[in-house]
Amino acid sequence: GAVVSQHPSRVICKSGTSVKIECRSLDFQATTMFWYRQFPKQSLMLMATSNEGSKATYEQGVEKDKFLINHASLTLSTLTVTSAHPEDSSFYICSARGGEGGTYEQYFGPGTRLTVT
Amino acid sequence: GDSVTQMEGPVTLSEEAFLTINCTYTATGYPSLFWYVQYPGEGLQLLLKATKADDKGSNKGFEATYRKETTSFHLEKGSVQVSDSAVYFCALRQQGEGSEKLVFGKGTKLTVNP
DSSP assignment of A15-59? TT--EEEEEEESSS-EEEEEEEEE-TTS-EEEEEEEETTSPPEEP
Edge-to-edge strand list for the sheet holding B19-21: B19-21, B75-77, B62-65, B56-59
Using an 8 Å CB-CB cutoff, list chain A residues near B4. Answer: 43
Q: How many CB atoms lie within 10 A of CB B74?
A: 18
Whether B100 has a pLDDT exceeding 80, the answer reads no
Instruction: Write down the pLDDT at residue B54.
Output: 95
Residue A31 CA to residue A94 CA, distance in Å, equals 13
Kindly state the percentage of chain A with pLDDT values over 90.
68
Among the partner-chain residues A102, A106, A111, the one whose CB lies closest to the CB of B102 is A106
Q: Look at strands B108-113 and B11-14 and give their pairing.
A: parallel
Which B positions 47-86 lie with beta carbon below 8 A of chain A? none
CA angle A101, A105, A107 (to 5 degrees): 120
Confidence bin at A3 (pLDDT 50/70/90): confident
Between chain A and chain B, the number of residue pairs with CB atoms below 8 A apart is 44
Confidence bin at A63 (pLDDT 50/70/90): very high
Q: What is the DSSP string of B72-103?
A: B--EEESS--GGG-EEEEEEEE-SSTT---EE
Residue B100 to residue A93, Cβ atoms within 8 A: no
pLDDT mean over A85-92: 95
Residue A81 CA to residue A67 CA, distance in Å, equals 5
Per-residue DSSP letter, A60: T
Residue A95 to residue B46, Cβ atoms within 8 A: no
pLDDT tens digits, B42-62 = 888 999 999 999 999 999 999
pLDDT tens digits, B64-78 = 999 999 999 999 999
Is B86 in contact with B45 (CB distance < 8 Å)?
A: no
Confidence bin at B97 (pLDDT 50/70/90): low
pLDDT tens digits, A12-35 = 999 999 999 999 999 888 888 999
Q: Which of B25, B26, B35, B44 to mutate to test the interface with A (most CBs of A within 10 A)?
A: B44
pLDDT tens digits, B3-44 = 999 988 899 999 999 999 999 999 988 899 999 999 987 888
